[in-house]
Amino acid sequence: MLLHIPQVLNPEELAHGRVLLDGAPWADGCITAGTQSAQAKRNLQLPQDTPAARELQAMVEAALARNATFFSAALPKQVFPPLFNCYQGGMDFGNHVDNAVRADPFSGQWVRTDVSCTLFFTGPDEYDGGELVIEDNYGEHRVKLPAGDMILYPSTSLHRVEPVTRGARVASFFWTQSMVRDDARRSLLFDMDRAISSLRARVGDGEETVMLTANYHNLLRMWTEL
């Protein structure tokens, strides 16, 4: 499932985040790259243990916690602490697949990467290039979203970031271990959840709504890993 989630950050959070990122102590992006990714990765990244990074992480995590669409689509069991990167001056990230597991730098707990997310802090008018290109069975999807919006996609996807030839592309990126490991099952549950919400808005909690809701939860119960 490839999903655009608009306005994850509100204008006040976005403005404050931009201030923090503008004064951030950027480092080489390879500090968190795996063996394969390090060969293709050319960007800047905010070290995870800096005060700015910790404040930004808390802000993004709070935004995710209140976003019903993110919960419905990702069914999060654990979210890896958000990271922050910057592409400028021709920087790019070649084709790669994200590492299957990552160790949380603060708890040491291993997180399986089922769902990948990129949350944009700069808008498409602020830089040239920098498209996130995600490949799947239907071809290439080129993503360049407004500031505050987020793209969610399976971590199994081959993807890249095109060179940034003007300005700077600044974003948060992170992974989620889902309660439902399989992407096709998550997609089915997400579609059912949207259908239930639409049906409830039109007819209330009638017999059909209750039946569909029961089927949703029984499928979730069948597929959930806790």
Checking if the pLDDT of 30 tops 90, the result is no
Single-letter amino acid code for the residue at 90: G
Superfamily of chain region 3-178 = q2cbj1_9rhob like domain (2.60.120.620)
User: Average pLDDT, stretch 136-165?
Assistant: 96
Amino acid at 145: L
User: Does the structural domain 183-223 have CATH classification 3.40.50?
Assistant: no
Report pLDDT for 206: 87
CA–centroid distance for 65 within its chain: 13
**pLDDT at residue 31, rounded to an integer:** 63
Binding site membership: which residues?
A: 96, 98, 159, 169
Q: What is the pLDDT of residue 32?
A: 63
Task: Return the domain boundaries, the chain.
Answer: 3-178, 183-223
- Radius of gyration for the alpha carbons in the chain, expressed in angstroms and rounded: 18
Which residues on neighbouring strands pair with residue 118, listed in sequence order? 151, 173
- pLDDT higher than 60, residue 95: yes
Residues belonging to the binding site for 2-oxoglutarate are 169
- Containing H/E element for 220? helix 207-223
The letter for the amino acid at 155 is S
| Mean pLDDT, residues 204-224 taken together | 94
The DSSP annotation for 54-86 comes to HHHHHHHHHHHHT-HHHHHHH-EEEEPPPEEEE
| pTM assigned to the model | 0.93
Binding residue numbers for Fe cation: 96, 98, 159
Confidence of residue 38 (pLDDT cuts 50, 70, 90): low
- Work out the mean pLDDT of the chain and round it to a whole number: 94
For residues 155 and 116, give the distance between their C-alpha atoms in angstroms, rounded to a whole number: 5
